Homo-oligomer: A and B are copies of this chain.
Amino acid sequence: MSVDMAIKVLDQSLGKIVLIKLKGGKVIRGSLQGFDQHMNLSLDTAEEVSEDGKSNALGTLIVRGDNIIMISPPPS
């Protein structure tokens, strides 16, 4: 209920692997390096995960927040 709920969860996920579902169906996994108030994310060792479980290495990435549906932080 705090204004900075998303920021707190993202902050706790820095340096950890997050899973990101994008509009249009793409799924990206990578190590969260940074984010901003638009939910723009910076990822390291990112990879695109396809439905059959295969992955395609993307390296370092900036993902624009307005394409994001859901972010799964790592299990705590």
Contact = CB atoms under 8 A, between A and B. Distances in A.
**Copy count, this protein chain:** 7
A6 B70 contact: no
B3 A37 contact: yes
A23 B69 CA distance: 9
Interface residues on A, range: 35 or more
Interface in A10-69: 10-11, 14, 22-24, 26, 28, 34-37, 39-40, 42, 58-69
Contact of A68 (B3, B6, B39, B64): B64
Nearest to A11: B1
Interface of A: 1-11, 14, 22-24, 26, 28, 34-37, 39-40, 42, 58-73, 75-76
